[in-house]
Amino acid sequence: MKTNVVMRPLLFIVAVAMICVSCKKDTANAGETIEIYLFKSYQTVTAKCQVDPSLSVLQDSPTIKNQDILAYSPTEYTFKLTESAIQQVKVLSDRTPFAVTVDKQVIYYGFFKPSISSSSCEQSITMDVAWTAGNEILLRLGYPGQLEGVTIEDKRNDPKLIATLKKQGKLQ
């Protein structure tokens, strides 16, 4: 009888511990920093508006640092940036390539494409300063938009990116 009295609480504690250990948090694969880099050197895939990762080298330091990213909207695909960061984006030239990273690991590549650009970019994620108030950049599939029959791997809401943003409290 005494064994039962001791075993029940012990089994309960073991069961609770197993449940706690087996639960996964949404931020389990989250990183620490999200940054946007420009390139020291790069090449595009032949006849495409697409960065060739094997022939491209990121700059040593990010253009947009983690602390410059204030928020992200996964439904609108917009990053809200600090005033100094948005000023850096506004001076980028048309077709400037960039990379969005988590802990310096590239999540996706893209090109800056201002909305006044006359050239297209159908194979990549593109970035532009949003015309809404609030220091936002808009990330789109292609420019001026995604064309029928053209497939772009959409990594704008990559699980690691979203988990890191959530961990930092930056998801809108």
Over residues 11-60, the pLDDT tens digits come to 555 444 444 444 444 455 789 999 999 999 999 999 999 999 999 999 99
pTM for the full model?
Answer: 0.81
State the pLDDT confidence band at 2, using cuts at 50, 70 and 90: low
Say what the pLDDT of residue 138 is. 95
Please state, in angstroms and rounded to a whole number, the distance separating the CA atoms of residues 127 and 136: 10
State the pLDDT confidence band at 5, using cuts at 50, 70 and 90: low
State the pLDDT confidence band at 86, using cuts at 50, 70 and 90: very high
Compute the Cα dihedral for 91, 97, 103, 104 and give only its sign.
negative
Q: Which two tokens stand for residue 10?
A: 């012990």
Residues 6+ apart with CB under 8 A from 88: 63, 64
List the end-to-end C-alpha distance of the chain, in Å, as a whole number: 56
Has residue 92 got a pLDDT over 60?
Answer: yes
Say what the pLDDT of residue 100 is. 98
